Amino acid sequence: MGFNSGLVTFVDALPGMNRIRAVQRALAMRSEPVYLEIGVSRGQAFQRISADVKIAVDPAFKLTDRVRERADAKARITRYFETTSDAFFANEKTLLEQHPVDVALIDGLHTYEQVVRDVENTVRYLKDDGVIFLHDCNPPFELAGRRAESWEEFMAQQKGPLVIGIWNGDVWKAIVQLRSTRPDLIVGVFKCDQGVGFVRKGTPESTLSYSVDEVRALTYADLKADRKRLLNLKPPRYLNEFLAASAASPPR
């Protein structure tokens, strides 16, 4: 299964750009791409993504047989790893060396420290022209951005009836930390789908200078007051420029 349809230049014409569409656009530009998804859960994205090799990582899959069938039908090879992302990267080095990643989607544990680890581990096995997308990087209000170790813990924090159906956690801080500590990466967020983060190798147009301790101390009020600068927030149409620049990078 190969994908090499050329750069798409009409993202703005498509309604509702989101993480799944961004991933598939990036994959469609490539021949026999390898796709890695961290945080698969029920397979909402994984079953819809087409790639030559698809790798799924989640400590507790919630996939029906039908979802697995749909996911498998859109790849030549599909591999499932029911484990934490930390354990996956520690135990599957050979697999990742044999199948360097073209495109990754990170949508696992919604704590920024874990997201930073997931990005930095993925980058080690990312092709030089590869790209990473992240979900939940731009919480729209404070409750959605509340820190918790799981959805269950987030729900337990509610004092009354559930008033929202979304939880982004403090993933947004991962963007701030990466922009402050990784001058070898281009990092930002598309303003759509609760914030779709993007990462690729290269020299960023702008950076931040927060220490790790300062990132830890940031609050939602800090994000609300300076959202565009902290996140390097971009409109959805920037996907074209981002992918074009990635395609211009020499492949490994």
pLDDT digit string (tens) for 130-157?
999 999 999 987 766 566 555 565 556 6
Are the C-beta atoms of residues 187 and 175 closer than 8 Å to each other?
A: yes
pLDDT for 32-70, tens place per residue? 999 999 999 999 999 999 999 999 999 999 999 999 999
pTM above 0.75, yes or no: yes
Residue 249 belongs to some domain of the structure: no
The verdict on residue 156 lying in a domain is yes
- Residue 190 falls inside a structural domain: yes
For residue 94, give both structure tokens.
Answer: 């050979």
Q: Rounded CA gap, 180 and 192, in Å?
A: 23
Give residue 39's domain range.
Answer: 16-244
111/108 Cα distance (integer angstroms) = 9
Q: Are 182 and 208 in contact (CB under 8 A)?
A: no
Residue ranges in the chain modelled with pLDDT below 70: 1-15, 143-165, 167, 249-252
Asked if 157 contacts 148 with a C-beta cutoff of 8 angstroms, the reply is yes
- As a whole-number percent, the residues of the chain with pLDDT over 90 amount to 77
Number of domains present in the structure of the chain: 1
The pLDDT score that the predictor gives to residue 92 is 98
Can you give the pLDDT at residue 160?
Answer: 54
What's the pLDDT at 252? 45
pLDDT at site 13: 34
Q: What integer best gives the mean pLDDT of the chain?
A: 88
| Per-residue pLDDT at 162 | 52
Of 226, 112, 84, 121, the closest CA to residue 169 belongs to 112
Question: Does the residue 8 lie in any domain?
Answer: no
Residue 11 lies in a domain: no
Residue 251 resides in a domain? no
Q: Give the model's pLDDT for residue 145.
A: 56
**Is 81 part of any domain?**
yes
At residue 246, the pLDDT reads 83
Domain membership of residue 6 (yes or no) is no
Residue 167, domain CATH: 3.40.50.150
